[in-house]
């Protein structure tokens, strides 16, 4: 799993998101949010094959 300098915070708007940070796995739904230090290994996955996941994402430092 990748990691990098910074922090990440998001809120789920539509669909579901599976978030893995280190060994912890979370299934997030609309209205759920998260925050973590990006230097921890992490990955994102849409667990649905037919539904979109929409979210608002904030990262620091700005890299996109």
**pLDDT tens digits, 21-60:** 999 999 999 999 999 999 999 999 999 989 999 999 998 8
**Rounded average pLDDT over 10-19:** 97
How far lies 44's CA from each of 9, 20, 28, in Å?
13, 6, 11
Where does the pLDDT of residue 63 fall: very low under 50, low under 70, confident under 90, or very high at 90 and above?
A: low
Residue 35 lies in a domain: yes
- Scan for tokens 């979210």, then name that residue: 55
**pLDDT over 70 (residue 64):** no
Q: Is 43 helix (H, G, I), strand (E, B) or coil?
A: strand
Report the CATH number at residue 18: 2.60.120.10
Count of the separate structural domains present in the chain = 1
Please list the residues that pair with 27 across neighbouring strands.
Answer: 18
Residue 31 lies in a domain: yes
Where does the pLDDT of residue 2 fall: very low under 50, low under 70, confident under 90, or very high at 90 and above?
A: confident
CA 10, distance to chain mean position in Å, is 6
Contact, 28 vs 57, CB < 8 A? no
């Amino acid at each position: 799993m990748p990691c990098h300098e910074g922090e990440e915070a998001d809120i789920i708007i539509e669909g579901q998101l599976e978030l893995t940070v280190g060994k912890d796995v979370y299934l997030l739904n609309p209205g759920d949010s998260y925050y973590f230090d990006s230097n921890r290994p992490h990955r994102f996955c849409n667990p649905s094959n037919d539904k979109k996941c929409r979210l608002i994402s904030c990262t620091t430092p700005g890299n996109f």
